Amino acid sequence: MKTLINLFLALASAVVLSPGLAAGEGERRNPNVIFILTDDLGYSDIGCYGATKVKTPNIDRLASEGMRFTSFYTAASICSPSRAAFLTGAYPQRCGLYMGINPNRKAHWFLGLNPEEITLAEQFKSKGYDTCMVGKWHLGSEPEFSPLKQGFDSYHGMPCNFQHSPEFYDGETITFSKTPLDQLTTLYTDRVGKFIRQQGDKPFFLYYAHNYPHTPYKAGKAFAGSSKDGVRGDIMQEMDWGIGEMMKALEETGVADNTLIIFTSDNGPTKNQYALPYRGTKYVTFEGGHRVPFILHWPSKVELGKVNDEQIQAMDLFPTLSEVIGASMPEDRVYDGVSLVPLLHGKPLARSIDEPFYYYNCENLQAVRKGEWKLHLPRKKEQLPFWDRNKSFLNVSEPALYQMSADPGESVDVSAANPGIVQELESIAKKARMELGEYLEPGTGQRATGTVIADAPVISTEKDWGMVDPDMEAKISRERKKRYPNLKTKGKRKGK
């Protein structure tokens, strides 16, 4: 009898612990996953989040057939660090990629996401998935940091922003020395469709990181003049069309129901009108910089048209998708997110609402949110990243407290009336800085930035390059000359 009970218990726990949602529920195989990451797309940039000048029926459909989140936070208000957090499940400061990587800056060109980091793509590989990236990478432009070295089987897109490096890649081959921007969406759409169709029944992870509506942009002929919001509106509508084409490919191959699609953005827009009702834009730590749309579409698993107000964040993607595919979380490092899977079943997250969220701008911790309170921290000009230094309204000399439930637009500073809360959040910030760092003060929990010159210092702001030892500077320069023999002293890189 005891043996039978034990056998029963073993079977019961096997069911409970069975890897992957699909496996436990008798589906033929693990689901496909498509992670769509747009660039500089703000909270109110698409129809179902309040846009009125553009029509985005295909993205809206993802929401009406899925779950739409209203309190999603990116880990940074600029491209590179935000992307690092999505792919590693760690704050950018923890995984070492907290600066805005620019291959034309002497302080940056040799940096990237450390190959020792475990990316989402590598999690998918561990479960036998095919992995594909289409779009903008922006986690290091040197070959050592290529998506092909971070778990992706194939890569089709741009290593960085168009202004920094206009080349378009197919794997390791440059197919356009200057990407034709009016064809960008069709290039991506064709590749996404081709990849989905060639996969057929083989499970895949597709990371689709469209560069738009990051500038510069140009609409294809079919969409020029199609919107009520100029070229930006046109390219938004074209991008939406591309997502519709992607859905067609999923439906034609019969895998739409078993494909989990996430749609979001890496940071807020450059103009506040696309971030409303929130304050601020890209580059800053007001809500408009961090709060963006987040839609989860998974017809066979999610109740249609649900709106979810739970506070969630970029670092949640890694544990969520790991759970979905039954990949165990690596145990040798710290993660900053929780799985969102309980929310799909109407259950609470494993994270308390009181767990703080940190708004870093590069190495500078600028704000902390805990529950309904958000404290903007005093900051000195020298702590600010270069993109922030000339925005004098951001030079906070005293802490400013906002009650987010009553004042989501961060307009009324209530610090004077709540000294106890200010003190509590200041003490949380102090601990965070000890672990995740502050400008020129490394934290105990920070992992190494990826670099192609092992002993070179990591300087996130070019203005501080003067701190680098002249011998080291000469060494870095020599390596760059070797890699880019045609490099002009002041100009941009010229080919490889």
List residues with catalytic annotation: 79, 138
Q: Toward Ca ion, which CB reaches closer, 290 or 301? A: 290
- Please identify, among the stretches 38-46, 89-97, 119-127, 290-298, the one whose residues bind Ca ion according to the rule CB under 5 A: 38-46
Contact status: 40 vs Ca ion (CB under 5 A): yes
Contact status: 267 vs Ca ion (CB under 5 A): yes
31 touches 296 (CB < 8 A): no
Can you tell me the distance from the alpha carbon of 323 to that of 339, in angstroms, rounded to the nearest whole number?
A: 7
Cβ 42 to Ca ion shortest distance, Å: 11
Using alpha carbons only, give the angle 225, 229, 230 rounded to the nearest 5 degrees. 45
Contact status: 388 vs Ca ion (CB under 5 A): no
Question: What mask, x for binding Ca ion by CB under 5 A, covers residues 225 to 264?
Answer: ----------------------------------------
Contact status: 38 vs Ca ion (CB under 5 A): no
Cβ 265 to Ca ion shortest distance, Å: 7
Can you tell me the distance from the alpha carbon of 342 to that of 399, in angstroms, rounded to the nearest whole number?
A: 36
Cβ 452 to Ca ion shortest distance, Å: 24
Cis amide linkage into residue 277, ω under 30° from 0: yes
Q: Toward Ca ion, which CB reaches closer, 97 or 421? A: 97
Task: Give 291's strand partners.
Answer: 73
Contact status: 36 vs Ca ion (CB under 5 A): no
Contact status: 39 vs Ca ion (CB under 5 A): yes
Cβ 239 to Ca ion shortest distance, Å: 14
Can you tell me the distance from the alpha carbon of 489 to that of 495, in angstroms, rounded to the nearest whole number?
A: 15
Can you tell me the distance from the alpha carbon of 375 to that of 75, in angstroms, rounded to the nearest whole number?
A: 17
Q: What is the per-residue DSSP string for 232-269?
A: HHHHHHHHHHHHHHHHHHHHHTT-GGGEEEEEEESS--
306 touches 68 (CB < 8 A): yes
Amino acid symbol at 126: S
Cβ 268 to Ca ion shortest distance, Å: 9
**Which residue lies nearest Ca ion, judged by its C-beta?**
79
Contact status: 295 vs Ca ion (CB under 5 A): no
- Please identify, among the stretches 73-81, 303-311, 395-403, 479-487, the one whose residues bind Ca ion according to the rule CB under 5 A: 73-81
Q: What is the per-residue DSSP string for 148-173?
A: GGTT-SEEEEESS-TTT---EEETTE
Cβ 19 to Ca ion shortest distance, Å: 34
Of positions 36, 79, 99, 384, contacts Ca ion by CB under 5 A: 79
Helix, strand, coil shares of the chain, percent, nearest 5, are 35, 15, 50
Number of residues that bind Ca ion (CB under 5 A): 5
Can you tell me the distance from the alpha carbon of 413 to that of 399, in angstroms, rounded to the nearest whole number?
A: 9
Does residue 71 sit in helix, strand or coil?
Answer: strand
Q: Toward Ca ion, which CB reaches closer, 54 or 79? A: 79
Task: Kindly list the residues in this chain that would bind Ca ion in the complex (CB under 5 A).
Answer: 39-40, 79, 266-267
